Amino acid sequence: MKRSSENYFDLVYEVVKLIPTGRVCTYGAIANYLGLKSGARMVGYAMNAAHGLPEVPAHRVVNRQGVLTGKHHFSSPEMMQNLLENEGVTIENDQVLDFDHLFWDPSRALL
DNA sequence: GAACTGACTCCAA
DNA sequence: TTTGGAGCCAGTT
């Protein structure tokens, strides 16, 4: 973990930290922006290792379907939903409503 | 020191 | 149309 200057995890953290409040992003979008070969896999692993990083809003990262797959990894399963709703994102049945409208693409935002 | 697990997505049948 | 399998890196045991 010492030479983490070039690992993909840090890159994922940087992108996730850039997600604006009230917006959500997908694993695939981040992977695509970073040009990861493994695709979304790497992003999911990065999120798993993101524990302890307050600047990494993992609750804003959802799967391709807009479902809160990683909610169970938070302090509480409902904590992720609560955080999103607190930012103005409506969640129903563990799924983001208007996901297409709230979707934030790094490639498009940084364009 | 080595092996297994883990928060996904895409392609093919 | 739906279902199944493959690919990758880092952290933990």
Protein residue nearest nucleotide C9, by CA to C1': A42
Q: Name A16's Cβ contacts closer than 8 Å, sequence gap at least 6.
A: A25, A30, A47, A50, A56, A57, A58, A60, A61
pLDDT along chain A (111 residues), means of 10: 64 93 95 87 91 89 94 91 95 92 89 75
A5: Cβ under 7 Å from strand C?
no
What are the b/e assignments for A32-52, b being 16+ CB within 10 Å? bbbebeeebebbbebbeebee
A65: Cβ under 7 Å from strand C?
no
User: What confidence score (pLDDT) does residue A1 get?
Assistant: 45
Closest nt to residue A38, judged CA to C1': C8
* Residue with the two structure tokens 């010492």: A2
pTM to 2 decimals? 0.90
Instruction: For each of the domains in chain A, give its residue range(s) and CATH number, in order of start.
Output: 8-102 (1.10.10.10)
A93: Cβ under 7 Å from strand C?
no
User: What confidence score (pLDDT) does residue A6 get?
Assistant: 62
